[in-house]
Amino acid sequence: MSKSDLLEEAVKKSKKWVAGGTRKEILDLIAQLNQSRVIPTVNFLGENLMRPRQIQEYLSEYRSLVRDISASNLQANISVKPSALGLLVQAEIFRRNLEQLLNDVSNIPMIELVMDSERSRDTLSAYDEAVKLLESGHEFRITIPCRFYSEMEPRLQWILDSGARIRIVKGAYDGEAELPFEELLQSILILQSRTEDPILATNNVRLVRLLEQRGILRCFGGFETLLGKHVNLERYLRKRGLRTLRYVPYGHRWIDYCARREKWFANNINKLKSILAEHRTE
């Protein structure tokens, strides 16, 4: 396959997982999902940013996105990665940038900010900085990954006492084995019992059925599916009248994200990165 054909195939395949490369594309999708009574959780792709210019571009894109969502009278959650807001450079930079976004959304009831999770050397410090903002009066949702629930346990009550709303995710990261189903279920049950109206991010219909059998399905504030894997669970949720969200990433940093979602991208990632690098230098 030629370079141009490989790139064309990659762009075509990426549409399953990524909502597009531009803000206009994601705004059009938000409007479409709102019409279907689905709340999008929007993530501008990017993580592990170290250069000040990149961090500032990431922050500026989110601030512009917030303004455009508000101006269009749309509803969405905004999901941000700590390492894209400068966490790996300095925790204070991350906190300052996150606070700017929180100030932007503070008077917009149709937008909720969500601090996403990631596996990095500074993950726990992100929670420490987030709690400082919660204790100062800011309101937002914090993601708790079941995969390292045990590592979070010493901080969890502090997080809950600070007034955080919770988003529960499985937390599957690069190179790690799948979390055993029973362990995942138990972590979810514990987290649900300790907080009000948590959002559960999952695509697993079996898991949601088990929660329904336990009579606690409506104890959750909503269920968040993933673009590319959303169809079956959203159909199940819609029949039960449950609040439905969908995680929808966008942006030009889509190669690494797609490689985590589909083996084809992982197998071709080096070739694709090389081709994209050539395009940027032409």
Model pLDDT for residues 243-253, shown as the tens digit of each residue: 999 999 999 99
Q: What is the mean pLDDT of the chain?
A: 93
**Residues 186-221 as b or e (16 or more Cβ within 10 Å = b):** ebbeebbeebeebbbbbbbeebbebbeeeeebeebb
User: Does 41 score more than 80 pLDDT?
Assistant: yes
pLDDT at res. 94: 97
Among residues 16, 2, 8, the alpha carbon closest in space to that of 263 is found at 16
Go through the chain and tell me how many residues it has. Answer: 282
pLDDT at res. 282: 47
Whether the CB-CB separation of 93 and 110 falls below 8 Å is answered with: no
pLDDT at res. 172: 61
Whether the CB-CB separation of 88 and 127 falls below 8 Å is answered with: no
What's the average model confidence in pLDDT over 53-78? 98
Q: Of the ranges 22-26, 118-122, 246-250, which one carries the lowest mean pLDDT score? A: 118-122
190 or 179, which is more confident? 190
pLDDT at res. 118: 80
pLDDT at res. 79: 98
What's the average model confidence in pLDDT over 169-178? 67
Name the residue type at position 172: A
What's the average model confidence in pLDDT over 25-53? 96
User: Does 13 score more than 90 pLDDT?
Assistant: yes
pLDDT at res. 207: 96
User: Does 176 score more than 80 pLDDT?
Assistant: no
Whether the CB-CB separation of 163 and 134 falls below 8 Å is answered with: yes
In order of their start, the domains of the chain are 18-253 (3.20.20.220)
Q: pLDDT band at residue 1, thresholds of 50, 70 and 90?
A: confident
User: Does 81 score more than 70 pLDDT?
Assistant: yes
Percent residues over pLDDT 90 in the chain: 84
What's the average model confidence in pLDDT over 113-118? 92
